[in-house]
Amino acid sequence: AGDGNIRVKTLSIELSIKDITILEKIKKLLKANNKITTRTRLHPVTQNYFTNCCLTISRKKMCEDLTKLGITSNKSNILKMPPIKSELIAHFLRGMVCSDGNFTVNNENCMTFTFVCPVYDFIKEFQDILIRELNFEKTDIPFKRGCYKLRYNGNYQVRKLFEYLYP
C-alpha cells in the first residue's frame, strides 16, 4: 500500500526507477499489457531530482477489492493499521518500511532505523507493535516537514528490527 493508489477503477503503482523490475513482475503476474512509464520530478523538500516508474491498470473488480482493504486515492492522510493476523504483521510492516523507511549505517558503523508517515495514529501503532513484539522502548515521534518520524538507533536494536522484518 505504500507506493500505490486507486482512483475510481484505476490502480497506479509508482516506484523508484531502481525498482522497475518489481513493476515488471506485477505486470506479468496480472497479465497486463500496460506500458510502464517513467518521469523525473523535483522533490519539494530536498530539491533533488528523482526518477520514478509507474504502472497503471484499470480493472474495476480489483480496484473495488483493494479499496475495501484501505487502498484509496488519499490513503496517506487516512492511513490505518489494517486488521491482520499477528503472524502477518511483520510482512505488512516490511512493505511499509520498503516504502517509507530506511536502515542506515554511519561512518562509525552505528545503525539507524527511520520510518516516516503523515498520520500520527499509524506511526504510533507501528511503534506499539515494536514495543510489544521486540521489547523496544517508547521514543519521541517528532513532526517535521509534513511527516512524523519514528527513529531507533544502535546496532543491537536496529539489527533485531531488521531480522524481525527480513527473517
pLDDT digits (tens, 9 = 90+) for 2-30: 466 677 788 888 888 888 898 899 899 98
Q: What is the DSSP string of 18-71?
A: GGHHHHHHHHHHTT--PPPEEEEEE-TTT--EEEEEEEEEE-HHHHHHHHHTT-
Q: List, for residues 63-110, the tens digit of each pLDDT value.
A: 888 777 766 665 556 677 777 888 888 988 888 888 788 899 998 999
| Average pLDDT value for the chain | 85
Percent of the chain residues past pLDDT 70, beyond the cut? 89
Provide the pLDDT confidence category of residue 1 given band limits of 50, 70 and 90.
very low
pLDDT at 73: 65
Q: What confidence score (pLDDT) does residue 61 get?
A: 87
**CA 18/CA 99 separation, integer angstroms:** 13
pLDDT at 119 over 50: yes
CA contacts within 13 A on the Cβ side of 17: 9
Of residues 76 and 151, more confidence is placed in: 151
Q: Is the pLDDT of residue 46 over 70?
A: no
Look at residue 5 in the predicted model and tell me its pLDDT.
Answer: 67
Strands of the sheet with 10-16, listed across from one edge: 4-7, 10-16, 49-58, 37-42
> What predicted TM-score, i.e. pTM, was given to this entire model?
0.66
